[in-house]
Structure 1
Amino acid sequence: MSTSHRSPHTLFWKFLVAAWLIFLMDSCTVVRKYPEQQPFVYKTNINVIGNFTNEHRKELEAGLTNQLDDSMQARKLDRLVVSVLRHPPVFDSASADKTVEFMRYYLNSLGYFQDSITYSREIKPKGDQYRTYVTFDVKPGKIVRLDSISYTMKDSALQALNNAHLDQALIKKGDPFAQAVIAAERDRITELFRNNGYLRFSSDEIYGLWDTLDISLLQPRLDPFEQLEVWQELRKRRENPTANLEMRLKPLTDSSKLWKYYVGNVTVYPNYTIDTLNGQRHEETVKDVQIIQHGYEFKSKIFPSNIYLKRGDLYNQRRYLRTLNRFNNLGTWRVVNIDQVPRKGQDTVDFVIRLTPAKKYSFTTNLEGSVNQSPISGNLLGIGINAGIQNRNFSRAANLANTNIRYGVELGANEISQFIQTQQVSLSHNISIPRFLFPEFGFVEKFKERFRGNIRSLFSFNAANTERRLLYNLTTINGGWGYEFQRRRWLLTVRLPNIEYSYLQQRDSLTRLIEQNPSLRNIFTDGFISSVVANYTLTGGNNRALNVLRANVEESGLLTGMIRNSFLDKHLYRFIKADVEVARLIRFTKSSIALRAFAGVGYEFEFTRDPAKRNNLPFFKQYFSGGPNSMRAWQLRRLGPGSTVQPFTGANSIPDRYGDVQIEVNAEYRFPVAKPLGIPVNGALFTDIGNVWFLKKSAGTEEQVFKLSRLPQDIAIGVGAGLRIDLSFFVIRFDYAYKVKDPSPDARNASYQNKFFAYPFFKGDQFQLGINYPFIF
């Protein structure tokens, strides 16, 4: 077998060996500047003993590791090939004893009060080094659980308020007697009181009184049978220890902490700085809010709608924090401070809002790049230059206005020639208005009052020109109006309407391709879109696992299509398109797993007036695969549709592949490799599975149209490995992938279609260069 056509099985095993060598790099450790003739801490192990699930055991081990005294930690620095241990600490039993104390405090905070912690050490000489391996054996014992919970507030109003909200309690019978959950319950009670007028009440006013033994068990009994029952009960308590908890209100010396406060005056200083304290002031009152500013930098009318503290209302901490967060999120001010000023001897609190403006204008420029490369077909290098200006106080109303210009090219290269394949120039202008701009109907006012999140009104305009060498020139103009609703972990954006017009000029090569492949006539079209677009994002999870859900829906022409005129009949697209994406990032101590699934479908309605537009979505709305952020074993737009076998160049070729349906699943295992010059370099092993298809039978051949029974046959599979250089503000990513199964090869490689590991080395590999991670995480 020639060297240019290595066995794919040999390639696969070499790939696994290379990946294994990366893992082994960490096992080689060099020790420098160690204590001479003294045992030093080389490695510390923690062994958790007990019947725990793997997940709980790992949580305990991670928490116990954080309790290690500094003198018990051997900190290694990862280099490109080896790990370096500098200045390892001398082993000291006093430090080990202190660590045991820290671990015991940690276990107590989780509800473990019957722990047993011991440690041992083993010295393994290596040359003149006395490497000491320290092992902590931790047996947490039985966790103490809550048997009963009671609340004693002493004040009748507080007691009644607390009793009315016991369904929101964060602790219940059977929960672990743990410090974190009890502290959280104390904070909940405090927040409840502060949201109901008790401005000066704090969590320090509440404490927990607890016991772990029923006093009645200690009472003397003469009846031997009763005494036997007592012994039995004590045995059960040892096997399943419990605690009784009472949340109590401390005796208060300041009676004002039990007063209910009401909102008084609200004063805003919109451009508060040291330089303006003694300058000329302009004062104005709008809807009970007093605005004092120096000059006329801001319109006074914008402030009342962003302040949720209304004169005469009962004080509510939630509304105070909502006001604080609102001004912080606007981006117009760099410092936001709200002082709460209770009136002496009164149940009224005034608020003084001091706002220090951020710099009004900011300029940004950046360079981006990506590479798709194949030794057979050449490479495609993408370079983009972006320049933008942001106005943080557009129209003196705290609106954010962004204007961006971008120029990008894709350079194609092979052994014969080098030229620009694609170039694009685009201009975008967006205005974000931090208010809900809508005609003042009754239900609108009620909605704005009840909605507890942030609302923005959005205006966007985009214009772009794309020249695809020898194929087409596409000019697109897009404008839209919409709203953004954000609350806690979800974000909803609605654009109504979204107006878009695309004008396509066919070049000679595309005209010839359409003559040879008439189905392309239904894809490469221009036209008009009048749509409604909705985007929804939901985030969740914890420190160990992050989750993201994204859903997008776009509908065009459903109502607009009822208007009959020659322009709409010829140009209007009438379609619906929806897709959903789910991603999960699972974190381990040093590594992580990123999972992602995507599914999308678009349907062009049969009642679209122009017959040429009925079979497919327009190509600029279709899905495509390949490239650094999708199926990485394929070049950009070089996969699918379905099990197509056609050339990418020459007669009867289809250079770019699109589809109305896309399914894709990605999995990536990430791990640290080295940290040269303090820059983290991480490795990755990944697999990508998916494809694109046409939806309608009239759009293409049987092999190109999505059919559930053909899914196993049509799915493409790629595997690969990569490196990620984390520069903090962005990540440079190098990915190398191999086509494990290719359902849509070039006609010259038809013999490899749908065969596992069929490609020779120089035909089935693909190098990708990307910026940041390939999908959400």
Structure 2
Amino acid sequence: MSSFLLIIFMRFSRKLSCVLCYFLPLVLLISSCTVVKRPPAGKPFVFDNKVTIIGNVDKDEKKRLTNELANYWDDSLYAAKVQQFGVRYVLKDPPVFDTANIARSVSFMKSYLNSQGYYNASFLNPDSSYTFEKKDDEVRTTINFVINPGKSLIINSIYYDLGDTALNRFSKINRKYSAVKPGKTRFSKQVIAAELDREVALFRQRGYFLLTRDNLVAEIDTADLSLLQVTLDPFEQAEKIAAATQRRLENPTAVVGIKKRNFKDSVMSAGDSAFFKRYYIGKIYYYPETGRYDQPDSLVTDTASFKRVPVNAYTLFYKQDKPYVRFRTLREHTYQLRGNMYNETNFYRTLNNFNQIGAWERVDYRTYLRNDTVDFHYFLTPAKKETLGFYVEASRNTGDLLTSGTLIGFALNTTYINRNVWHSAIQSNTTFSNGVEFSFLQNNSLLQTFQSSLSHGYTFPRFILPRFTKPKNPYRLDNIRTRLNTSASYVERKDFYRLRSLIANWGYEWKKKNIFYSVKIPNVELYSLDTLPNLRDEFETNPFLRTSFNTGTVISLQGSALLSYPGKNNNVSNLVRLAAEESGAILGRIKGLQDKIYQYIKFEAEYRKLISQRKSAIALRAFAGIGYNYGKNERFGKTLPFFKQFVGGGPNSMRAWGLRLIGLGSSLSSDTAATFRDRYGDMQLEANAEYRFTLAEFSAVKVGSALFVDAGNVWNLHPNENSPNSNFDFDRFGKDIAIGVGTGLRFDFNYFLIRVDMGIKLKDPVRSANNGWLSIKDFTWKNYEYTDKGAPTRNNYAIQLGIGLPF
């Protein structure tokens, strides 16, 4: 995928080179502009701050230090610039320059460098590190600190001396999970703090309920052990000292010791043994009807007014005729067993599960110590049980049958939610949706598409499985759910088709560590399709469409896995999604069902990366999908059914093309069609890159923009003589790839985001001239290439209206 993006970038840069020649000087002029407001009259003021790192420091470390040191300028010596409209900077009320303030900035930066392990940092001539520039009546001062940080202190070894045999053993066994790699890891306060946090988390997972960071201390020893060797010769001792000093300058090292802190305070010392004591799970109490304004501590001390359900070490308190939820629901989501050693991970998993069930809006807790046991009291405030909502959508963001790129669609959704069905925290969701699409083109009817759908589902907060299939250790899983969903829909595309569907599925969801799994078994889909005159006419000119538009039954197994994980830096997040579906492997082999059940297998893979900055972000996405029809029934043809095929274009895909208006490959069949031009394929490849930035903020509304590049296409797997070049072929891959570039505006209202994007077809596979590349010299907004074949004109651009970010 990386080589694929590189090819796209090279072709993209070559085709836009002439445009940049015209506009680059203007862009550089605007982006380099800094507007100064209310500068001190007749006095030099701080206009710019720079930090230059020199010395034997690698490139990434130089960049990191440069960025971090920018935060350590003294306020009286810092020019606080604010970016506006993504292209210029504004400097308001800059401070008067005074050389007396340089020493404070130097002191702050040295302290930071020391915290990062640079104890021999030197500043080159800080007292003469400034220059003046006169502009009109302004005297602008630029301050540039040139810093040689020297060699960073390396952690040579780490040891644990906690005054307790068990703690020392745990530390040594789990040392391999430490971020400190002796002889490699640079010393910094952050690294040491992370190691202390890891140790505390390790101990709190093994029963040390009261132990915190305050109970541990890290000792750093930079002394050279060779100096400890006793010698009576003063000259030899002096040579050793000189050699040790030289070694510290060339390769400074440190030994880190994690130890038990000895409190001098008498109160802390008296209870010191309690912090290093192991505790066990005692009794657990539930209060599932806690009011918003109830005080948990008062509820614990006054339980006389409650009814109760005691089961072994667990007790449920309630006041209504029936408990708000059954005891079993709470017990199944409690990861703490009486008598087990306290484990902080299981404690937080319990809290998270209660929060994610949906029946409560807030979860609180209290803990009470009894000798070596801990009792837990959970206070759960019920959420509003029933909710009725109405939602209007101006654009659909998925490739369903409602929206087309040449149409504008509106939908009204009515949703009813019950968060506690049958007093078991079972959630039911009912949605009734009605939508229409309008066309404002000449010779077209105003109303083009009508859709109506009704769906109803239940979410059970546990696994509902036969006994012999239940997982051996369900307590290793989080967010356990069982789902039952049913839906029915009716879609009519004027003069083309009427589609009726009925879908039902039973499935399971769970999370293990940072991977979210979902399985639907079975998934049953019934379809009935009426072809209308316009579609039948298209069958005559495009026979390959006939095999896509057929109806049958899907009885499939669906599965997906969603992995999210952070990058090396806190501002980077990654997401990987894998999905698969299979239909007909078993039932499709039964006589009498072979002509009714689709037989196919389908895979999808998606990767997303987000690099966030203070007022900007870079978003990357790569998607690949493929489906294979392995059935032998001629009625179903060799492609997937059209409601399972891939589509491209629209507000969340190739934004220079309307929804379902890209592909197949470089085939002209759909582009030269007089009316029906929707495309469906068995394979899709797509890559997207987007630079997002803030333009302005008005009260609670943020106005942003983005620059984006989209590349990809949709294909069929099998060649078709009625649609040449519609199948995927490695030899034709470069020609088939479509590329769009563009920009847009985003209006962020906190609760929702409205987006308008405009994309230009930089490379269109069906454009005959210039091998599909857009000619800047001969640019036109419309393409008239195939009008002589009776096809309508095609736009070289598309404007997309979307709700939410594209990915």
Equivalent residue letter for 2:512: R
Equivalent residue letter for 1:170: A
Q: Is the 8 A contact 2:85 2:694 kept in 1?
A: no
Deviation (angstroms), 1:275: 5.8
Residue 738 of structure 1 corresponds to which residue in structure 2?
760
Residue 28 of structure 1 corresponds to which residue in structure 2?
33
Aligned-partner Cα distance in 2 for 1:740–1:577? 31
Of the candidates 53, 61, 69, which is equivalent to residue 64 of structure 1?
69
Q: Secondary structure at the match of 2:595?
A: helix
Of the candidates 125, 140, 149, which is equivalent to residue 149 of structure 2?
140
TM-score (norm 1): 0.89
Equivalent residue letter for 2:495: L
Q: Is the 8 A contact 2:395 2:802 kept in 1?
A: yes
Aligned-partner Cα distance in 2 for 1:670–1:79? 12
Q: Secondary structure at the match of 2:661?
A: coil
Residue 786 of structure 2 corresponds to which residue in structure 1?
none
Equivalent residue letter for 2:344: Q
TM-score (norm 2): 0.86
Structure 1 residue ranges without an equivalent (≥5): 1-8
Residue 747 of structure 2 corresponds to which residue in structure 1?
725
Deviation (angstroms), 1:266: 0.6
1:165-216: CA deviation from partner (whole Å, max 9, x where unpaired)? 3333332312112111211211222222222222122221111122212254
Aligned-residue sequence identity (percent) comes to: 37
Residue 658 of structure 1 corresponds to which residue in structure 2?
680
Aligned-partner Cα distance in 1 for 2:596–2:464? 31
Of the candidates 69, 77, 80, which is equivalent to residue 74 of structure 1?
80
Identify if the C-alpha distance between structure 1 residues 548 and 654 changes in structure 2 by more than 3 Å, giving closer, same or farther.
same
Residue 412 of structure 1 corresponds to which residue in structure 2?
439
1:49 aligns with 2:54: yes
1:757 aligns with 2:779: no
Identify if the C-alpha distance between structure 1 residues 281 and 699 changes in structure 2 by more than 3 Å, giving closer, same or farther.
farther
Equivalent residue letter for 1:136: F
Equivalent residue letter for 1:581: E
Aligned-partner Cα distance in 1 for 2:20–2:431? 43
Aligned-partner Cα distance in 1 for 2:30–2:553? 57
Identify if the C-alpha distance between structure 1 residues 650 and 324 changes in structure 2 by more than 3 Å, giving closer, same or farther.
closer
Q: Is the 8 A contact 2:692 2:707 kept in 1?
A: yes
Q: Secondary structure at the match of 1:234?
A: helix
1:485 aligns with 2:485: no
Deviation (angstroms), 1:494: 0.8
Identify if the C-alpha distance between structure 1 residues 69 and 367 changes in structure 2 by more than 3 Å, giving closer, same or farther.
farther
Residue 707 of structure 1 corresponds to which residue in structure 2?
729
Identify if the C-alpha distance between structure 1 residues 351 and 586 changes in structure 2 by more than 3 Å, giving closer, same or farther.
closer
1:165 aligns with 2:174: yes
Deviation (angstroms), 1:726: 3.3
Q: Is the 8 A contact 1:605 1:614 kept in 2?
A: no
Deviation (angstroms), 1:59: 2.1
Q: Secondary structure at the match of 2:467?
A: coil
Aligned-partner Cα distance in 2 for 1:481–1:591? 42
Aligned-partner Cα distance in 2 for 1:515–1:418? 23
Deviation (angstroms), 1:12: 7.8
Aligned-partner Cα distance in 2 for 1:193–1:10? 60
Deviation (angstroms), 1:611: 1.9
Residue 270 of structure 1 corresponds to which residue in structure 2?
288
> Which deviates more, 154-163 or 80-89?
80-89
Deviation (angstroms), 1:773: 6.1
1:685-714: CA deviation from partner (whole Å, max 9, x where unpaired)? 332222111112368544122222221222
Q: Is the 8 A contact 2:708 2:742 kept in 1?
A: yes
Q: Is the 8 A contact 1:370 1:768 kept in 2?
A: no
Deviation (angstroms), 1:735: 2.6
Residue 4 of structure 1 corresponds to which residue in structure 2?
none
Identify if the C-alpha distance between structure 1 residues 77 and 188 changes in structure 2 by more than 3 Å, giving closer, same or farther.
closer
> Which deviates more, 548-557 or 670-679?
670-679
Aligned-partner Cα distance in 1 for 2:133–2:174? 60
Structure 2 residue ranges without an equivalent (≥5): 1-13, 263-268, 398-403, 784-795
Deviation (angstroms), 1:75: 3.6
- Return the structure number with greater relative CO, CA threshold 8 A, min gap 6: 1
Deviation (angstroms), 1:636: 1.8
Aligned-partner Cα distance in 1 for 2:87–2:252? 51
Identify if the C-alpha distance between structure 1 residues 454 and 150 changes in structure 2 by more than 3 Å, giving closer, same or farther.
same
Q: Is the 8 A contact 1:679 1:727 kept in 2?
A: yes
Residue 423 of structure 1 corresponds to which residue in structure 2?
450
Of the candidates 625, 628, 633, which is equivalent to residue 656 of structure 2?
633
Aligned-partner Cα distance in 2 for 1:371–1:151? 58
1:150 aligns with 2:168: no
Q: Is the 8 A contact 1:741 1:757 kept in 2?
A: no
Of the candidates 697, 700, 714, which is equivalent to residue 719 of structure 2?
697
1:448 aligns with 2:474: yes
Aligned-partner Cα distance in 2 for 1:25–1:506? 57
Aligned-partner Cα distance in 2 for 1:677–1:121? 38
1:771 aligns with 2:785: no
Deviation (angstroms), 1:153: 1.4
Q: Is the 8 A contact 1:286 1:304 kept in 2?
A: no
1:212 aligns with 2:218: no
Q: Secondary structure at the match of 1:147?
A: strand
Residue 329 of structure 1 corresponds to which residue in structure 2?
356
Q: Secondary structure at the match of 2:113?
A: helix
> Which deviates more, 65-74 or 618-627?
65-74
Deviation (angstroms), 1:77: 5.2
Q: Secondary structure at the match of 1:446?
A: coil
Of the candidates 114, 119, 133, which is equivalent to residue 108 of structure 1?
114
1:621-644: CA deviation from partner (whole Å, max 9, x where unpaired)? 111122222222222212221221
Of the candidates 683, 687, 709, which is equivalent to residue 687 of structure 1?
709
Identify if the C-alpha distance between structure 1 residues 347 and 672 changes in structure 2 by more than 3 Å, giving closer, same or farther.
closer
Residue 308 of structure 2 corresponds to which residue in structure 1?
283
1:634-684: CA deviation from partner (whole Å, max 9, x where unpaired)? 222122212211354766x65211111111222233344444667544443
Aligned-partner Cα distance in 1 for 2:33–2:231? 66
Aligned-partner Cα distance in 2 for 1:361–1:73? 54
Identify if the C-alpha distance between structure 1 residues 615 and 97 changes in structure 2 by more than 3 Å, giving closer, same or farther.
same
For the aligned residues, what is the CA RMSD? 3.2
Equivalent residue letter for 1:447: N
Of the candidates 184, 199, 202, which is equivalent to residue 189 of structure 1?
199
> Which deviates more, 348-357 or 382-391?
382-391
